[in-house]
């Protein structure tokens, strides 16, 4: 056994460090499971996709990962300062005959409501979808923007 290990080491193809690294990667990947990103609450009927909101000087940008969702199937609405994103994620796997080896993705309707930190100009909200990511740009209202008032000191 010992000699066997020695031989394996000597031909430089197997190394304990490689095995350790692989083990480390596998353990890391256990914590990387992303299956719950879209998980709904206990009594929610719809999936609630995870989103990011970034505040810029003139607007808010909301980004949602919606892989496999067609832009036509997304419905956006802004009321007061509440943004609602809803839609339908159609199953791409319907043509399969149900012979799944593994199924981690979800399909069906989704809805997400977020309140914005301040009121936005609802008429100028822009949205676009690219590579399965929805980006919504909500400009801040002029009257809600912090104004710089210059005071002349004499």
Residue 19 near another protein by CB under 8 A: no
Within 10 angstroms of residue 81's Cβ, the number of other Cβ atoms is 17
Q: Residue 30 phi/psi, 5° resolution?
A: -65, -35
**Neighbouring residues of 150: CB distance < 8 A, sequence distance ≥ 6:** none
Spatial contact of 60 and 135, defined as CB atoms under 8 Å apart: no
Distances (CA, A) of 129 to 1, 9, 24, 79, 98: 59, 52, 37, 21, 30
Spatial contact of 51 and 61, defined as CB atoms under 8 Å apart: no
Residue 129 near another protein by CB under 8 A: yes
Q: Provide the minimum distance between the beta carbon of 38 and another protein in the complex, in angstroms, as a whole number.
A: 9
Residue 9 near another protein by CB under 8 A: no
Nearer to another protein, 30 or 151 (CB): 30
Residue 10 near another protein by CB under 8 A: no
Q: Provide the minimum distance between the beta carbon of 146 and another protein in the complex, in angstroms, as a whole number.
A: 14
Q: Provide the minimum distance between the beta carbon of 40 and another protein in the complex, in angstroms, as a whole number.
A: 14
Residue 65 near another protein by CB under 8 A: yes
Residues that bind another protein (CB under 8 A): 12, 15, 17-18, 21, 24-25, 28-29, 32-35, 37, 50-56, 60, 63, 65-70, 92-93, 95-105, 114, 117, 129-133
């Amino acid at each position: 056994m010992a000699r066997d290990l020695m031989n394996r080491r000597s031909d430089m193809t197997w190394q304990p460090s490689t095995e350790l690294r692989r083990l480390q990667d596998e353990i890391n990947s256990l914590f990387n499971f992303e299956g719950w990103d879209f998980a709904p609450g206990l009594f929610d009927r719809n999936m609630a996709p995870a989103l990011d909101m970034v505040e810029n000087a003139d607007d808010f940008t909301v980004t949602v990962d919606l892989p496999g969702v067609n832009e036509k199937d997304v419905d956006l609405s802004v009321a007061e300062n509440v943004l609602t994103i809803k839609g339908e994620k159609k199953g791409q796997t319907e043509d399969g005959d149900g012979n799944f080896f593994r199924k981690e993705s979800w399909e069906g309707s989704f809805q997400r409501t977020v309140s914005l930190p301040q009121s936005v100009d609802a008429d100028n909200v822009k949205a676009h979808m690219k590579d399965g990511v929805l980006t919504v740009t909500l400009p801040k209202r002029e009257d809600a923007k912090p104004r710089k008032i210059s005071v002349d000191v004499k």
